[in-house]
Amino acid sequence: MSRTIASFIRTVPDYPKPGILFRDVTGLLEDARGLRMAVDLIVHRYIDRGVDVVAGIEARGFIFGTAVAYELGVGFVPIRKAGKLPGEVIAIDYELEYGSDRMEMHVDAIPDGAGVLLVDDLVATGGTALAALELVRRAGGRVDDASFVIDLPELGGADRLRAEGVDVFALCAFDGA
Protein backbone atom coordinates (compact mmCIF):
# COMPACT_ATOMS: atom_id res chain seq x y z
CA MET A 1 0.00 0.00 0.00
CA SER A 2 1.39 3.39 -0.91
CA ARG A 3 1.20 6.21 1.60
CA THR A 4 0.26 9.83 1.08
CA ILE A 5 2.14 12.80 2.50
CA ALA A 6 -0.77 13.49 4.85
CA SER A 7 -0.51 9.99 6.33
CA PHE A 8 2.95 10.83 7.74
CA ILE A 9 1.68 13.93 9.56
CA ARG A 10 0.50 13.63 13.13
CA THR A 11 -2.17 15.89 14.58
CA VAL A 12 -1.46 16.98 18.15
CA PRO A 13 -4.53 18.50 19.83
CA ASP A 14 -4.21 21.50 22.15
CA TYR A 15 -0.60 22.30 21.24
CA PRO A 16 0.92 24.80 21.77
CA LYS A 17 -2.28 25.97 23.47
CA PRO A 18 -5.87 24.80 23.95
CA GLY A 19 -7.97 24.69 20.78
CA ILE A 20 -5.03 24.39 18.38
CA LEU A 21 -4.60 21.27 16.23
CA PHE A 22 -0.83 21.21 15.66
CA ARG A 23 0.23 19.49 12.43
CA ASP A 24 3.53 17.75 13.22
CA VAL A 25 5.79 16.91 10.26
CA THR A 26 8.23 14.95 12.42
CA GLY A 27 6.85 11.61 11.20
CA LEU A 28 7.44 12.69 7.62
CA LEU A 29 11.03 13.68 8.42
CA GLU A 30 11.72 10.44 10.30
CA ASP A 31 10.66 8.20 7.42
CA ALA A 32 13.17 8.05 4.55
CA ARG A 33 10.45 7.21 2.01
CA GLY A 34 8.20 10.00 3.23
CA LEU A 35 10.95 12.58 3.22
CA ARG A 36 12.09 11.52 -0.25
CA MET A 37 8.50 11.63 -1.51
CA ALA A 38 7.98 15.17 -0.18
CA VAL A 39 11.24 16.50 -1.61
CA ASP A 40 10.72 14.77 -4.97
CA LEU A 41 7.19 16.17 -5.33
CA ILE A 42 8.40 19.71 -4.71
CA VAL A 43 11.45 19.34 -6.96
CA HIS A 44 9.36 17.83 -9.77
CA ARG A 45 7.09 20.87 -9.74
CA TYR A 46 9.92 23.41 -9.90
CA ILE A 47 12.62 21.67 -11.92
CA ASP A 48 12.03 23.84 -15.00
CA ARG A 49 10.44 26.93 -13.42
CA GLY A 50 13.40 29.31 -13.35
CA VAL A 51 14.31 28.94 -9.69
CA ASP A 52 17.67 30.58 -9.01
CA VAL A 53 17.59 30.35 -5.22
CA VAL A 54 15.52 28.57 -2.57
CA ALA A 55 14.73 30.60 0.55
CA GLY A 56 13.70 28.57 3.57
CA ILE A 57 11.80 30.02 6.51
CA GLU A 58 13.04 29.11 9.98
CA ALA A 59 12.97 26.41 11.13
CA ARG A 60 11.36 23.53 9.24
CA GLY A 61 11.65 25.46 5.99
CA PHE A 62 15.40 24.92 6.37
CA ILE A 63 14.95 21.15 6.33
CA PHE A 64 12.76 20.95 3.24
CA GLY A 65 14.29 23.98 1.51
CA THR A 66 17.87 22.76 1.72
CA ALA A 67 16.97 19.38 0.25
CA VAL A 68 14.97 21.03 -2.55
CA ALA A 69 17.81 23.48 -3.32
CA TYR A 70 20.30 20.61 -3.47
CA GLU A 71 18.12 18.63 -5.89
CA LEU A 72 17.47 21.71 -8.04
CA GLY A 73 21.18 22.52 -8.12
CA VAL A 74 20.70 26.03 -6.70
CA GLY A 75 21.74 27.85 -3.55
CA PHE A 76 19.84 28.05 -0.30
CA VAL A 77 19.15 31.21 1.70
CA PRO A 78 17.98 30.97 5.31
CA ILE A 79 15.37 33.46 6.51
CA ARG A 80 15.98 33.57 10.25
CA LYS A 81 14.58 34.92 13.46
CA ALA A 82 16.25 38.12 14.63
CA GLY A 83 19.78 37.96 15.97
CA LYS A 84 20.74 34.59 14.46
CA LEU A 85 22.75 35.70 11.42
CA PRO A 86 26.25 37.19 11.60
CA GLY A 87 27.13 40.15 9.42
CA GLU A 88 24.94 42.71 7.72
CA VAL A 89 21.25 41.82 7.45
CA ILE A 90 18.00 43.28 6.25
CA ALA A 91 15.03 42.78 8.53
CA ILE A 92 11.28 42.99 8.65
CA ASP A 93 8.90 43.19 11.59
CA TYR A 94 5.61 41.39 11.16
CA GLU A 95 2.45 40.59 13.05
CA LEU A 96 1.62 37.16 14.35
CA GLU A 97 -1.76 35.96 15.51
CA TYR A 98 -0.78 36.84 19.08
CA GLY A 99 2.02 39.41 18.94
CA SER A 100 4.83 40.34 16.59
CA ASP A 101 8.21 39.02 15.49
CA ARG A 102 11.19 39.94 13.34
CA MET A 103 12.92 38.02 10.53
CA GLU A 104 16.29 38.67 8.95
CA MET A 105 18.28 37.69 5.90
CA HIS A 106 21.82 38.51 4.82
CA VAL A 107 21.76 41.73 2.84
CA ASP A 108 23.65 40.18 -0.10
CA ALA A 109 22.00 36.74 -0.08
CA ILE A 110 19.75 37.21 -3.11
CA PRO A 111 21.16 38.33 -6.47
CA ASP A 112 19.16 41.23 -7.92
CA GLY A 113 16.30 39.88 -10.04
CA ALA A 114 16.84 36.25 -8.95
CA GLY A 115 13.86 33.89 -9.07
CA VAL A 116 13.29 32.77 -5.49
CA LEU A 117 11.23 29.80 -4.35
CA LEU A 118 9.97 30.26 -0.78
CA VAL A 119 9.75 26.99 1.19
CA ASP A 120 8.27 26.20 4.59
CA ASP A 121 6.54 23.28 6.23
CA LEU A 122 3.15 24.91 6.73
CA VAL A 123 1.08 27.90 5.67
CA ALA A 124 -1.66 28.94 8.09
CA THR A 125 -2.58 32.65 8.26
CA GLY A 126 0.32 33.49 5.96
CA GLY A 127 1.86 36.14 8.21
CA THR A 128 5.31 34.60 8.29
CA ALA A 129 5.31 33.74 4.59
CA LEU A 130 4.16 37.24 3.63
CA ALA A 131 6.93 38.74 5.75
CA ALA A 132 9.48 36.46 4.06
CA LEU A 133 8.07 37.46 0.67
CA GLU A 134 8.49 41.15 1.50
CA LEU A 135 12.03 40.57 2.77
CA VAL A 136 13.06 38.80 -0.45
CA ARG A 137 11.47 41.53 -2.55
CA ARG A 138 13.31 44.23 -0.59
CA ALA A 139 16.54 42.37 -1.31
CA GLY A 140 15.81 42.51 -5.04
CA GLY A 141 14.54 38.96 -5.52
CA ARG A 142 11.48 37.88 -7.47
CA VAL A 143 9.11 35.44 -5.78
CA ASP A 144 6.72 33.77 -8.19
CA ASP A 145 6.24 30.59 -6.16
CA ALA A 146 5.95 29.35 -2.58
CA SER A 147 5.85 25.70 -1.59
CA PHE A 148 4.61 24.15 1.63
CA VAL A 149 4.18 20.64 2.90
CA ILE A 150 0.87 21.57 4.57
CA ASP A 151 -1.81 24.15 3.83
CA LEU A 152 -4.52 25.04 6.35
CA PRO A 153 -6.90 26.63 3.81
CA GLU A 154 -9.49 27.78 6.35
CA LEU A 155 -6.93 30.21 7.79
CA GLY A 156 -6.45 31.93 4.41
CA GLY A 157 -2.65 32.21 4.23
CA ALA A 158 -2.31 30.65 0.78
CA ASP A 159 -4.99 33.00 -0.56
CA ARG A 160 -3.16 35.99 0.95
CA LEU A 161 0.02 34.93 -0.89
CA ARG A 162 -1.91 34.45 -4.14
CA ALA A 163 -3.28 37.99 -3.74
CA GLU A 164 0.38 39.12 -3.78
CA GLY A 165 0.95 37.36 -7.12
CA VAL A 166 2.59 34.24 -5.70
CA ASP A 167 1.63 30.77 -6.95
CA VAL A 168 1.17 28.51 -3.91
CA PHE A 169 1.78 24.77 -3.95
CA ALA A 170 1.14 22.49 -0.97
CA LEU A 171 1.62 18.74 -0.76
CA CYS A 172 -1.47 18.31 1.40
CA ALA A 173 -4.17 20.29 3.19
CA PHE A 174 -6.00 19.82 6.46
CA ASP A 175 -9.36 21.22 7.51
CA GLY A 176 -9.53 23.23 10.69
CA ALA A 177 -6.92 25.27 12.48
Contact 86, 100 (CB under 8 A): no
**Contact yes or no for 47/26 (Cβ under 8 A):** no
Catalytically annotated residue among 10, 30, 49, 97: 97
- CA gyration radius for the chain? 16
DSSP string spanning 45-72? HHTTS---EEEEETTHHHHHHHHHHHHH
Amino acid letter at 70?
Y
Residue 97 annotated among the catalytic residues of the structure: yes
Q: What is the DSSP string of 14-32?
A: T-SSTT-EEEE-HHHHH-H
Closest listed residue to residue 119, CA positions, set 165, 75, 84: 75
- Residue 45 annotated as catalytic: no
| Contact yes or no for 102/41 (Cβ under 8 A) | no
Which one of 60, 80, 104, 160 is the catalytic residue?
Answer: 60
Catalytic residue numbers read 60, 97
